[in-house]
A and B are shown apart, each in its own frame.
Chain A
């Protein structure tokens, strides 16, 4: 293996964190490759509009923003490859990134593989996925024109998507297990003012029911701190109950929390020298595009430093 076959940085994931790491690495003239298993954008692609990314006072379409971020990174020479990482070996100073049909060597790795929506974990959920159960309002809302739907969850994503769904659905029932919502105040205010949204608080969904042919037709709901059970007729249920990290390929040497999120310090260093993590895949409080891009820049910068001082 010749030295010039070894990348300075291999970035895993093409969402905002990975693309920004790529932008900074490319501008530093490092030999960098970014690996993405699908199109660029990550979870950004499941949203309609972004209202809290600085620089866009009128908001910006989520897809448009992801295109701008990737275009900027590519303009500075970021090399990308459409491939899924199956394995990562980090026990030597030179890391090995395994793909389905190839193996790459890199001095440093930035894990920016993001996260995926959690499942609710109730009966009927997997059976009716795609036939009434959805995790993406922007994708599936138009199938529910003039119908009643439910949203499960009380965070920013759940409430923003509930508001989006009112463009199509005749009524949106927000079901949340706590007695108050967790979403940012301005998002809550918008939802409370929307007369197509109603709230079923302190309640949990225990089963998603339907018929084989038609898909979902009702939910079973139970009081969170009680035993009272109710049925809610809806033709769709949109589930936004948090996320899980896409860290299945990450080796055990890289320290993670109980949920699988990767622990880093404020320089984005993981427990393994030369391995960095950025964005939603790492342990952090505020998972936003604006924090993801900060992580990406920090990770690329410190990966560059690591190469200078160790390799």
Chain B
């Protein structure tokens, strides 16, 4: 499901790939049975190209990796979280328009 600029993160790789990342990371928490997750997939794909090296884009399948979403109290998908320096910087719940996501990214990326 991940495109060429998107990495898949797991419960095992989350700390290293996301929390210890030098650049902000947008994590898309999704699952295969979630229609709205599929709806925003093309938007996430686009975003992974738009910011180049200034933003890392990752997907986390909540079905295969239940620990990470529960760590962040996620009880709805899609949930997008932007992590900056290991902390939650912005959080968006549900399928929203690209403009709303870029506004959140711009705040975090600066």
A residues at B contact (CB < 8 Å): 37-39, 41, 44-47, 62-63, 66, 82, 84, 86, 100, 129-132, 134-136, 138-140, 142-144, 213-215, 236
Complex CA distance for A140 and B75, rounded to whole angstroms:
6
Q: Is the CB of A134 within 8 A of B35?
A: no
Q: Which residues of A contact B94 (CB under 8 A)?
A: 129-130, 135-136
Q: Which residues of A contact B33 (CB under 8 A)?
A: 138, 142
Q: Is the CB of A84 within 8 A of B98?
A: yes
Q: Which residues of B contact A143 (CB under 8 A)?
A: 74-76
Complex CA distance for A132 and B94, rounded to whole angstroms:
13
Contacts A45-B35, A45-B36, A135-B94 given; does A140 touch B76 at CB 8 Å:
yes
B residues at A contact (CB < 8 Å): 31, 33-43, 46, 63, 73-79, 91, 93-95, 97-99
Q: Is the CB of B74 within 8 A of A130?
A: yes
Q: Is the CB of B97 within 8 A of A138?
A: no
Q: Which residues of A contact B37 (CB under 8 A)?
A: 139
Contacts A62-B35, A82-B46 given; does A37 touch B97 at CB 8 Å:
yes
Chain A min CB distance to B5 (Å): 16
Q: Is the CB of B75 within 8 A of A46?
A: no
Chain B min CB distance to A238 (Å): 10
Q: Which residue of A lies closest to B77 (CB)?
A: A139
Complex CA distance for A96 and B22, rounded to whole angstroms:
43
Instruction: List the 8 closest pairs (A to B, CB-CB), nearest first.
Output: A45-B35, A130-B93, A39-B39, A38-B39, A130-B76, A143-B75, A139-B34, A140-B76
Q: Which residues of A contact B99 (CB under 8 A)?
A: 84, 86, 100
Q: Which residues of B contact A140 (CB under 8 A)?
A: 75-77
Q: Which residues of A contact B78 (CB under 8 A)?
A: 139
Q: Is the CB of A39 within 8 A of B38?
A: yes
Q: Which residues of B contact A131 (CB under 8 A)?
A: 73, 75-76
Contacts A44-B35, A45-B36 given; does A38 touch B43 at CB 8 Å:
yes
Chain A min CB distance to B94 (Å): 7
Q: Is the CB of B73 within 8 A of A213?
A: yes
Q: Is the CB of B97 within 8 A of A139?
A: no
